[in-house]
Amino acid sequence: MPEPLQTEKNQSWAITLFTIGVFMAALDNGIISAALTTINSSFDVSPSWGSWGVTLYTLGLSVSVPIVGKLSDRYGRKKLFMFEVGLFGLGSLLVALSQSFPMFLAARLIQALGGGGIFIIGSSHVLAVLPKEKQGKALGLLGAMNGMAAVLGPNIGSFLLDVTGSWHWLFLINLPIAAALVVCGGLFIAETKEPEAKRLDLAGTILLSLAILSCMIGITNLDGAKLSESIMDVKVYGYLLGSALLFLVLLKVEKRVENRGGDPILTYSLLQNKVFQWTLVIGFLSGGLLAAVIFIPSYAEQYLHVSAEKAGYWMTPLALASGIGAWLGGAITDKKGPVFSAVVSGAIAFVGFSLFPLWVTDKWEFVIASVIAGIGFGFLLGAPLNVLVSETAGQNKGTALGTLSLVRQVGLTLAPALYAGFITAGFDRIGDDIKNRLAKSGIPADQAQTPDIGGGLSSLQEQVSRIPVPAVKKAVSDAIEAGISSGYHHLYTAAAVISLCTIVSAAVLAFFRKPASSKTDASPSAGKAQ
């Protein structure tokens, strides 16, 4: 690529701009959580309604990711990057200026449609422009920013809210960043796109959007506290069934489009590729690992007895570690290959998450365990899966990366319901455990002042503090600790099992990849600089 725009200096500029864009978009998905209570109060809406500010953003991301991936391949990644960043900036401005809750929700959706594709566009650009031996580090950097921003979002949101005193500034800070990215993107990013432009698959785009929306709505209706019951709710299984049917129709439509020489939004032949299928499985599992991070603040507060206002800061070691892991994953992918990097990821994550139930009893032990776990799942945030996808994608890099990101988002959305179920199960056993402990102490339960466990943990702890009999107080306190420990131990055991599943999936993927690896490695990158 002899043009000046493709010099090493300009490549570095482009990657820097993509990295900032990815961090900005990913940060916004978590930053709002720190201000949800304040935002709900300002619009006078209930917490259940207020949560739609997060839900709609997640839905918007899920819908936009595969579509933007396809559009970036077709119309150019530079154009789509500038458009997406501009749309994200507009959405941020509208959120900050919202005078009503419906306007706020609509603005959040605009934000999501703008921010959803930035990571995919950046990754596609890297795979199209950089030589194979440099792709891993660049993809690792993008993945590091994506993971770190998602984890650090609540902490940064709390800090900005404390400093400014207004939730509007959480979104106004995006404006100068977005404006700078658009201007600098026009100056320093070289245009790349696939050489063959065909008619856009409108029917496939609509079907995919509806299938994703139906799936994500069904998942968000899951209640972790009553998981088995909520699955039988028509608002869960109805939407999930509808999503499955829409996806089956989509596959038939896409097969027909591809057979006629069209440009499907989801390439049917790619979905039949075993390597791509198992890459998606690992992507789904990586979403499950990332979801375990969501519970770190509550773990620190309930298990390690950190104060509620400081609990969020205990995510910082894991966030930084995940960034380091993503960078290391990129470097190892460049040297040893993506499958080796995926196996290492699963092994390190397994050790880290296993330490939570087996070893952690104090804060310094927690820091060590969370750093190891963060490095482990951080490996998967950028390079290895993206490189695996690029090997099979051919001229459909954006589409393939978008599909991978979508599957990861599904895992990230579904896993918390499972994890919350473990915590609820641990909490539910407290009542019986109290009775058993009192019986062993020779204190009849009907003669003891036992607390009402139906009011939640904070209410329970408050009641315990008022128990006058030391033996009863100790029995109740020990039962609460055991219930909390049980819930979180099962949660992080599940995360460790998911890590093992990652290793197994990578091994299966390697089996299917071997026959084609020499052919794939010999093929040049399909993306062309225009």
| pLDDT tens-digit series, residues 272-293 | 888 888 999 998 998 888 888 8
Beta strand 528-529 pairing with 192-193 = antiparallel
Residue 529 pairs in a beta bridge with 192
Name which of 99-108, 132-141, 200-209, 448-457 the model is least confident about: 448-457
Cα separation, 81 vs 84, whole angstroms: 5
Cα separation, 87 vs 84, whole angstroms: 5
- 167 vs 473 pLDDT, higher one: 167
Per-residue model confidence (pLDDT) at position 508: 92
The fold for domain 1-198 equals: Growth Hormone; Chain: A; (1.20.1250)
| pLDDT tens-digit series, residues 424-464 | 788 777 777 777 777 776 666 555 555 555 555 566 666 66
pTM: 0.80
Q: What residue type is 479 in one-letter code?
A: A
For the cut 60, the answer to whether the pLDDT of residue 526 exceeds it is no
- 529 vs 435 pLDDT, higher one: 435
Per-residue model confidence (pLDDT) at position 504: 94
Cα separation, 174 vs 29, whole angstroms: 13
| pLDDT tens-digit series, residues 395-406 | 677 777 778 877
Cα separation, 250 vs 206, whole angstroms: 9
Query: Token pair of 458, please?
Result: 């904070």
Residue 528 pairs in a beta bridge with 193
Per-residue model confidence (pLDDT) at position 418: 80
| pLDDT tens-digit series, residues 304-354 | 888 766 777 788 888 888 888 888 888 888 888 889 999 999 999 999 999
pLDDT band of residue 22 (cuts 50, 70, 90) is confident
Cα separation, 372 vs 365, whole angstroms: 11
- CA dihedral of 330, 331, 337, 338, whole degrees rounded to 10: -20
Query: Token pair of 198, please?
Result: 């065909």
Per-residue model confidence (pLDDT) at position 4: 39
| 79 CA to centre of own chain | 26
CB 314 within 8 A of CB 306: yes
| pLDDT tens-digit series, residues 74-104 | 788 888 999 999 999 999 999 999 989 999 9
- Mean pLDDT over 355-370 rounds to 91
Q: Where are the domains of the chain?
A: 1-198, 200-262, 427-484
| 395 CA to centre of own chain | 26
Neighbours of 307 (CB within 10 A): 8
Q: What 8-state DSSP symbol labels residue 452?
A: P
**528 SS3 class:** strand
- Mean pLDDT over 501-521 rounds to 75
Cα separation, 455 vs 311, whole angstroms: 22
- CA dihedral of 419, 420, 421, 427, whole degrees rounded to 10: 120
Cα separation, 502 vs 344, whole angstroms: 10
Per-residue model confidence (pLDDT) at position 527: 43
Cα separation, 422 vs 382, whole angstroms: 29
